Amino acid sequence: MNSVVECPCGTKIQDSSEYTLLLLKKELLEIDILCPNEICHLRELGYVRFEKSRGEALFREASFYPPFVTWNSTQLGRELAQNILKKHLKEIVTTHIDWREVAQVTKPSSSDLEPNKRDETVSRSGMDKGEGGAY
């Protein structure tokens, strides 16, 4: 199965590891999924939302935004695009997000950090599958 999707800016994304994940909205408990092309006009392709429970970050939901989904549906066909995008979301949640690190940087005391320390790109260091809640 072809698993290449494309951002409307023309950037081809062959693998879920190519997205840029950014934990910018800490107070909203949201990780942005960004196009790997830094000069993309769309830039934000989706999000992963999580909740905090007993000091842990737990997955809540993940989604790509309609312009990205629609673009790929017209390019690849609805069913194929949905299958690939669901696979990418699942891999992002289970493989590419370090949930321990997310829990650390979203601790209440993190609001006391300097502004440039608050906005950090989520590390892509691997994690064991199954951590961070069910997909």
Residues pairing with 25 in the sheet = 30
Q: Does 124 map to a domain?
A: no
Q: Does 85 map to a domain?
A: yes
SS3 125: coil
- Which residues of the chain form beta strands (DSSP E)? 5-6, 12-13, 20-25, 30-34, 44-53, 56-64, 120-121
Q: Does 125 map to a domain?
A: no
According to the model, what pLDDT value does residue 22 have? Answer: 96
Q: Does 134 map to a domain?
A: no
What digits encode the pLDDT tens for the residues 50-78? 999 999 999 999 999 999 999 999 999 99
State the average pLDDT over residues 89-113: 84
Q: Does 92 map to a domain?
A: yes
Structural domains of the chain, count:
1
Q: Could you give the CA distance from residue 49 to residue 113 in angstroms, rounded to a whole number?
A: 22
The domain in which residue 49 lies consists of 5-119
pTM, 2 dp: 0.78
Q: Burial, 66: exposed, middle or buried (Cβ in 10 Å; 0-12, 13-18, 19+)? A: exposed
